[in-house]
Amino acid sequence: MDTRTKEAVRYLGYGSHAIDDDTLALIGSSFEELERTASRRIIYRIFDVSFWGDTGLKIETLEIDSRDLRKNLNGCEKVIVLGATLGAEADLLLRRYALTDMARVVVLQACAAALLEEYLDRCQEELRQAQEEAGYYLRPRFSPGYGDFSIGHQGGILRMLDASKRIGLSMTDGNMLAPTKSVTAVIGLGRTKPSRCIEGCEGCGKRDCSYRRDKGVGE
């Protein structure tokens, strides 16, 4: 089972349960369809960051009160602020199948989430290489909704990036991103290499989550 398939299985919530061949086949065909349909786009900008107290930080005009993000950015001088999406085409695909095949919709949702993470990982690796040449080291990306980093900051991030105009990424009144298979994030840039970077599920305190990456499939 390759990495993207394992991620899709995790998003489906299988946890320690075995996955049947029919579902694996559906995952495979869903990835194939998304590859033909999705339009990956990303935009990012680099800003200075300043801090106050244990929880406060400011990126450009965006003021944030978050102990978790503050900890993640410890020792950083700058941050990369980014937005990425699989595009409206992925949403149209999901809506089309919602009329005829809900089982495929569920699997497509999981595969789209895995595909977006794969895209972000690849982009982040390119950023890492470029920034290390400039003398900066990346911290793990941190998105609104992680820990106490409020999802209410989505709008501020999108405005900073002019994301609606640049990549067609906007937000609903409920602070949800549109297209739905999209993400915003902050990545710290520091002059010193962190001794250990804990990313994603491994850095989350919710140990009983059935979607945790570090639980593994089939454990």
Residue range(s) defining the domain that contains residue 12: 3-194
Are the C-beta atoms of 179 and 85 separated by less than 8 Å? yes
CATH of the domain at 12: 3.40.109.40
Task: Report yes or no on 176 lying in a domain.
Answer: yes
Task: Report yes or no on 70 lying in a domain.
Answer: yes
CA–CA distances in Å: residue 96 to residues 33, 62, 93, 104, 179: 13, 38, 5, 11, 15
Task: Report yes or no on 212 lying in a domain.
Answer: no
Task: Report yes or no on 14 lying in a domain.
Answer: yes
Give CA–CA dist 8/10, Å, rounded. Answer: 5
Residue with tokens 């990495």: 3
Task: Report yes or no on 210 lying in a domain.
Answer: no
Give CA–CA dist 205/217, Å, rounded. Answer: 20
Residue with tokens 């962190």: 194
If one counts the domains in the chain, the total is 1
pTM: 0.87
Query: Is the N-terminal amide bond of 179 cis, ω within 30° of 0?
Result: yes
Instruction: Give CB contacts under 8 A, 24+ apart, made by 27-31.
Output: 27/107, 27/110, 27/111, 30/104, 30/107, 30/108, 30/111, 31/4, 31/5, 31/111, 31/115
Task: Report yes or no on 214 lying in a domain.
Answer: no
Are the C-beta atoms of 199 and 140 separated by less than 8 Å? yes
Q: In angstroms, how far apart are the furthest CA atoms of the chain?
A: 53
Task: Report yes or no on 49 lying in a domain.
Answer: yes
- Listed residue (11, 1, 6) closest to 107, CA to CA: 11
Structure tokens at 58: 């400011």
Task: Report yes or no on 200 lying in a domain.
Answer: no
pLDDT tens digits in sequence order for the chain, 219 residues long: 899 999 999 999 987 778 899 999 999 999 999 999 999 999 999 999 999 999 999 999 999 999 999 999 999 999 999 999 999 999 999 999 999 999 999 999 999 999 999 999 999 999 999 999 999 999 999 999 999 999 999 999 999 999 999 999 999 988 899 999 999 999 999 999 887 555 555 555 544 555 445 544 433
